[in-house]
Every structure is written in C-alpha cells, then in structure tokens.
Structure 1
C-alpha cells in the first residue's frame, strides 16, 4: 500500500564512454582559466619590478612601508612627486613682503595720527577753556625802541622767555638752548618768533638787551619797559619774579623768576610750556608736534558740532 502512494523517481547514470567528452571539455576550460591567471600575475609582477627593481647583491634590504600605505585590493602603484617649484615659493615671499609693507604703513599712520590728536587735545586744554588764561594784553617796547604788544604775536608761532641780562648761569644756558632750537627749526622750514622779556627793567634798557641777546641768536627779540608794564606782562603769563628789597643804586643783585618757555600759537594763545626738562633735541620735537597739530580756530569751532567732536 505504501508503494502505491510514494513513487521514487528513477535515476539514470550515463556510461563512462558518454561522460568522457564532458570531462575532457571541463578539464580543458579549467586549465585555460588557470593559465590566464598565471599570465596576468606574471604581467603584474613585471610591472612591479619595473618600478621597484630588486636590490643588488650586498645592498641593504629596503624597509617595508606601513600597511596603511599599501592599497587594499591591488598592487602598489607608482605615484608622481608633486612639483613644489619656485613659482609657489616666490609668490608666497611676495605676499609676505606686501603684507609687512602694508601693515607697517598702516601702523605708522595710526601711530602718528594718534600722537597728533593727543598733541592737539593738549594744546586745546592749555588754551584756557574753563580755567585762567596764560597770556593776554601787554604793552612793552623792543630793543629798537618800537612798541610791542600781544598783537605782534598774531599770525605766527612765538616762544616767550622771561629772564634778565645779569643772570649768571640759568638764563645763558636757556638762551643757548633756544638758539639751538631756532637753528634746527629753520632747517625744517618752521619760523618761530623768539621773544625775551626782561624781569629786571631797571638794569635792562633797550640797548643793553640788544647787545646781550646778540650773543645767542640774531632772531631773538628783547622787550623791556617800566616796572609796572613789565610786572603786568609777567602777571598775564603767570610768571613769578622778585627782586631783593632795599637795593641801593649800583648794587649788584639777582632776580628770582620762573624758568619756562611759553609756546604761543598764531592766534596769540598759549598752547604749551617747555621747562628745563626739554633739551636741544626733545624741545625741537615738541615744538614740531604742536606746529604739525595746529588747527585754526574757525575749523575747531566747526568740529564742535560734529559727531566725532569727542576725539578732540
């Protein structure tokens, strides 16, 4: 009963004579494929040897490269070297030089501009806004006997010094320094009007001042007058001076006084005081700074309404 339900298919085996052509064809195809693979491997080996020849006898064995540098799934191929020629290096050098040049120029400009603004603000503060002025009206005579007032200071930068001709050491030293300043400023095309006002009018008439100042610089103008006129000028410039009491006629004496150079702008306004801390070089540089930073009054007034007025 089981046989009638399950039928086992019959399997027919071919004879050896019938299988021989099939086996022969399969063996030949397998041999040809194996031969082709050997030929390809030999060709790749020749290419590798071409770029990486075997070391000569006795030469050191080359080091193996790390596995990370060997391509996955194929043989190592030859890579060309990147040409880092002189064109790239030259371009980089020019760019660096241009950067340094432009950067240095910008730094120099802003540094000078900052210094100029600071000098301008210093001069503006010294002109006396909100505090007593230094300078003002006075009436004296020069060493040629001509009247000289504060109006003669207009239109040019002036520098004023108070002293006396019988001063033993301080006044000669300061006047020598003033002469050096004037000489150097002329070389820089800056004409400064130097004025010497005596604190000792009793012994400094015009002819004495003219002879005394000729020993220092020909441009220095000497001013004198009566005692009250000289005292008024000293008061306007906040200059302290005193003579010993009860001086007898013909008696020698010293006058105690302030030691400053008062720098005035072309409007006749005080902008700076140069003391003994300024020498022949630093004094010139300070005067040049003020001359370069000077702005006329009309322009200063216009800038007050600008949004950038806080800079000044």
Structure 2
C-alpha cells in the first residue's frame, strides 16, 4: 500500500531536514527533561505549539485542547508525498507500537499540509493503514497555515499545473505531553527504538516531576 503513495511522483527533491532556516528552538523545562534529550534543542525564545482548529479524518472539528490529555507524536506532511512522509509516519507508528508494548499510551497525529488533495477519505485510508490509532487532521488553507505557524513548521507548495505537484516541508516529529505541551522534536535520523526510548523517558520524567 505504501507503494501507492510512493509512485505518484518520480525523483522527489531532497528536503531540507531542518526546514526552518536559522530558527532556534525553545524546549521548555530543560532541567526536568535534560536527561531524555540526545542533544539540546533549547535556545532562543520562540515557543513551539499553540492553538489550532482543524478537522479530523472522521469529519469532527478538533482543537489543540482535544489532545492536551495525552502524549502525542505530531507530524506535518501530505498523503501524496512520494516517500518521505510514508517512511517517517511508518517510523512513528512503529515507535508507538513499541511504546504500547511497554505500557505507554501515545497518540500519533498527522497534519496534512495539502488542503487541495487530502480529502477526509484520503486521510482516513492513509492513517488507518499506518496505525489504527493515528489521527489525520486537515482544514482550510488558513487553518493549516495557522497550525504550521504554531509549530514553526515549514511547507511550500510547488507552483505547477501538474496534478501530481509536490510540497516541500520540514520533517520534524513533535512530542507533546499533558501539562507541558511541546517538549521535544525528533529528526528523521531517529529510529523507532530510539524514539520509543526517549518518549518513555519524557513520560516517566513528566510523571515523577524529576
């Protein structure tokens, strides 16, 4: 099934892994979670995360408050992405499966940046294949822009008349925790096992307050 999403375009250009230029990140409560971080992402003063209003793949309107009661791994991408998004989201799903086996309940969330093509039907098929608990989100162009801006996520639709147009986008996965909001980001190099270990560390530290 993943090949269905991989053959829609040939020769996908390399994404800028950072995708956010010279932006610096602010990771809250550095002291509390320092031992969970492979490398520090603290610095600057631009907080990540914030309010958004979107529609999930079942057609229900949701806001950031609907996810505030659980750990969330959040990723921005699109279903027509030829290879990067399916790979990253499959990696996130594997990490969530590993965490479930360890007794941690983490929700994978996918925010589409492709308002034009990612219908609710397309989103539903895509996320249900990757993980039964994955939630797909979309919205109006402005709602998607607002959500991306809140997370300092970059994306840009390539200007073309081709229906198989590509979208350049950043490839971070964001970890949010109840009572803390954004606490960490994961780059593409992280394996499912590494993600599971670090997410478990964050959850444990959030519970104990150490």
Counterpart contact for 1:119–1:293, Cα < 8 Å: no
In structure 2, C-alpha distance between the alignment counterparts of 1:185 and 1:209, rounded to whole Å = 24
In structure 2, C-alpha distance between the alignment counterparts of 1:162 and 1:139, rounded to whole Å = 15
Counterpart contact for 1:141–1:224, Cα < 8 Å: yes
Counterpart contact for 1:116–1:292, Cα < 8 Å: no
Within 5 Å, give how 1:162-241 maps onto structure 2.
162-241=76-155
The 4+ residue runs of structure 1 with deviation greater than 2 A are 115-122
Residue aligning to 1:137 = 51
| Greater fraction of residues in helix | 1
In structure 2, C-alpha distance between the alignment counterparts of 1:160 and 1:294, rounded to whole Å = 18
Taking a change above 3 Å as real, the CA distance of residues 143 and 117 of structure 1, as seen in their structure-2 partners, is closer
Q: Which runs of 5+ in 1 are unaligned?
A: 1-114, 300-311
TM-score (norm 1): 0.53
Instruction: Give the CA deviation at 1:283.
Output: 1.1
Q: Cα deviations across residues 124-173 of structure 1 (Å, max 9, x unaligned)?
A: x85x9x71210001000000110111101212111100010001111111
Q: Cα deviations across residues 56-108 of structure 1 (Å, max 9, x unaligned)?
A: xxxxxxxxxxxxxxxxxxxxxxxxxxxxxxxxxxxxxxxxxxxxxxxxxxxxx
| Greater fraction of residues in strand | 2
Residue aligning to 1:119 = 35
Q: Which runs of 5+ in 2 are unaligned?
A: 1-30
**2:179 pairs with one of 256, 267, 273:** 267
Counterpart contact for 2:72–2:106, Cα < 8 Å: yes
Taking a change above 3 Å as real, the CA distance of residues 226 and 188 of structure 1, as seen in their structure-2 partners, is same
In structure 1, C-alpha distance between the alignment counterparts of 2:119 and 2:58, rounded to whole Å = 10
Residue aligning to 2:164 = 252
Higher relative contact order (CA 8 A, sep 6+): 2
Q: Is 2:70 aligned against 1:156?
A: yes
Residue aligning to 2:190 = 278
Instruction: Give the CA deviation at 1:244.
Output: 1.4
After superposition, the CA RMSD in angstroms is 2.5
TM-score (norm 2): 0.78
In structure 1, C-alpha distance between the alignment counterparts of 2:151 and 2:33, rounded to whole Å = 26
Q: Is 2:60 aligned against 1:146?
A: yes
